[in-house]
């Protein structure tokens, strides 16, 4: 066993003595040592119940013949961090999580790992660690939050963000806003729509690293506890059979995850994270692969923020397995790919059928191509990403004047002051991985535009990124970013910009000669930070088009 390096032989007597001090017995040390990696904390609603999920995992490990030992990692709530300097730490926290897991796993010689994440950067941070370490691993998330109810309608945190714009526009009273605040997020779990957290939990399942329905079983249900016990039990079989993350996270598995993502219309952050996870797993995954798979994968499910349904509805309809079964029937995913169940994708999906009409047939999709699109053009030579499924039809092709802002705060001030006009193209730059630093999410501006009734009239382009709760013509991950000398840094107020969703184009309608002249006087924007973790992150982070990984 791998853990023999810390527990076997006379020279490891001091090590065993320390393990006995933790309450372990000689019999416990004769079994595989399983690290239970948990992101439990009392701040994040997606994490407040993970202590119970972790206990269920440990019960599963014990029953299967292993010795579970839990440790924790940090977790940032993007919703709470949104719109202020705290958001600069969200994406960088992904790397801290991966490094922390690597440190703990190697220092203590674990034979296997069971990961218990929830929420945006925690899932990919742990996935990066799994790919990097290549120790037998299985994932079980804390599950999604139930939708709230307000005025007889299902709601989620997206509605509260949009209510800021509605309130500012005089379309919502103080009393209504207060009631919505108390109703939208009714309890524990990752926010109820197909935002980044639930997108990544679903793709963990599609990659083969989580058990079926990992992405959709609600947090508050007994089924989630049973799933956690099952995940704990699976790790021993993976160890016995020598099945490791890189045996599962293959090129075929990433294609399965991308196809599932396109069918679901997940968060644009999934592009950023899948690129980084593939890098950690040693899989070459160029950005244009997403566009290729999107072009052949129909968009089958409209979940919030793109539609009226929530994760509990998808679970009732059959969950991610039902979506993948549709794709498998159409030859759109690889059935031979290995999974943590010990079976192939095709074996897992045998007999799986969707229930109801929420998951559409391949012949009757919402779109003939995927819910996420990759855009190219002189404004994004290395690519940009948009949640195509959340773009209103009238905004699929847009041509308008640039309204240029050097930060999210500047753009919000203009939006709330009523200075944005129908037809405008808002450009928010200096918010990329390096320039932010930290590549903040722009949910406040997009939500304010939606709340003010402008999401069908205004496009927003940024070298930052967007929350999975964003809807509208919101184009992010523009690469190269302004801080790296990307063309987005050369845009001037009033320049005409064209966005063409069907043509997958993002074009700055300025001549090459003019752009060359502007570049001669361009200077690197001053950084917001000069010390601490963010300064180190900014110096080492790569481009969004390759996953914003650290060099």
Active site residue ranges: 467
Q: Contact, 354 vs 345, CB < 8 A?
A: no
Q: Contact, 250 vs 132, CB < 8 A?
A: no
Closest CA to 210 of 59, 312, 319, 341: 341
Output the furthest CA–CA distance in the chain (Å, rounded): 76
496-500 and 474-479 strand pairing: unpaired
Closest CA to 189 of 216, 208, 163, 207: 216
Sign of the alpha-carbon dihedral angle for 129, 131, 134, 135: positive
How far apart CA 286 and CA 546 sit, in angstroms, is 7
Helix (H) or strand (E) holding 278: helix 269-281
Sign of the alpha-carbon dihedral angle for 506, 510, 513, 518: negative
Q: What single string gives the DSSP state of each residue in 106-133?
A: HHHT-SEEEEE--STTHHHHHHHHHHHH
How far apart CA 201 and CA 118 sit, in angstroms, is 7
Closest CA to 86 of 363, 401, 408, 316: 408
Q: Contact, 108 vs 24, CB < 8 A?
A: no
Q: SS3 letters for 11-59?
A: HHHHHHHHHHHCCCCHHHHCCCEEEEEECCCCCCCCCCCHHHHHHHHHH
Q: Is 528 exposed, middle or buried (0-12, 13-18, 19+ CB in 10 A)?
A: middle
Q: Contact, 499 vs 475, CB < 8 A?
A: yes
């Amino acid at each position: 066993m791998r853990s023999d390096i810390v527990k076997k032989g006379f020279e490891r007597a001091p090590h065993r003595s320390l393990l006995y001090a933790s309450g372990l017995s000689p019999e416990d040390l004769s079994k595989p040592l399983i690290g239970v990696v948990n992101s439990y904390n009392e701040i994040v609603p997606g994490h407040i119940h993970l202590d119970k999920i972790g206990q269920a995992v440990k019960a599963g490990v014990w029953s299967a013949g292993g010795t579970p030992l839990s440790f924790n990692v940090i977790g940032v709530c993007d919703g709470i961090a949104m719109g202020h300097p705290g958001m600069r730490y969200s994406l960088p926290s992904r790397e801290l999580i991966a490094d922390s897991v690597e440190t703990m796993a190697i220092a203590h010689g674990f034979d296997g790992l069971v990961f218990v994440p929830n929420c945006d950067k925690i899932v990919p941070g742990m996935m990066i660690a799994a790919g990097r370490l290549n120790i037998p691993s299985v994932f079980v998330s804390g599950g999604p939050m139930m939708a709230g109810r307000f005025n007889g309608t299902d709601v989620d945190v997206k509605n509260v963000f949009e209510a800021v714009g509605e309130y500012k526009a005089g379309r919502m009273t103080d009393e209504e806003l207060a009631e919505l605040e108390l109703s939208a997020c009714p309890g524990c779990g990752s926010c109820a729509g197909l935002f980044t957290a639930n997108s990544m939990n679903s793709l963990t399942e599609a990659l083969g690293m989580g058990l079926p329905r990992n992405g959709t079983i609600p947090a508050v249900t007994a089924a989630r506890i049973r799933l956690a016990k099952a995940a704990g039990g699976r790790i021993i079989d993976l160890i016995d059979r020598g099945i490791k993350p890189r045996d599962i996270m293959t090129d075929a598995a990433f294609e399965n995850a991308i196809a599932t993502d396109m069918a679901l219309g997940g968060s644009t952050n999934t592009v950023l994270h899948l690129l980084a996870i593939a890098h950690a797993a040693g899989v070459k995954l160029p950005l244009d692969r997403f566009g290729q798979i999107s072009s052949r994968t129909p968009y089958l499910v409209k979940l919030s923020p793109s539609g009226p349904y929530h994760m509990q509805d998808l679970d009732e309809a059959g969950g991610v397995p039902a979506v993948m079964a549709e794709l498998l029937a159409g030859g759109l995913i690889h059935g031979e790919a290995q999974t943590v169940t010990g079976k192939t994708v095709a074996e897992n999906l045998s007999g799986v059928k969707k229930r109801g009409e929420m998951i559409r047939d391949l012949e009757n999709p919402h779109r003939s191509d995927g819910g996420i699109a990759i855009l190219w053009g002189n404004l994004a030579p290395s690519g940009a990403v948009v949640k195509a499924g959340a773009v209103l039809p009238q905004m699929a092709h847009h041509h308008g004047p640039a309204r240029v802002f050097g930060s999210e705060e500047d753009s919000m001030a203009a939006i709330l002051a009523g200075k944005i006009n129908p037809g405008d193209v808002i450009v928010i730059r200096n918010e990329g991985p390096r320039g932010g630093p930290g590549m903040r999410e722009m949910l406040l501006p997009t939500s304010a535009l939606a709340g003010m009734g402008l999401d069908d009239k205004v496009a927003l382009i940024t070298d930052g990124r967007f929350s999975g709760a964003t809807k509208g013509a919101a184009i992010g991950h523009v690469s190269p970013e302004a801080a790296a000398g990307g063309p987005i840094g050369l845009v001037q107020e009033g320049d005409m910009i064209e966005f063409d969703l069907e043509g997958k184009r993002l074009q700055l309608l300025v001549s090459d000669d003019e752009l060359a002249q502007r570049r001669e006087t361009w200077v690197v924007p001053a950084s917001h930070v000069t010390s601490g973790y963010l300064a180190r992150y900014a110096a080492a982070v790569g481009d969004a088009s390759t996953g914003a990984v650290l060099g």
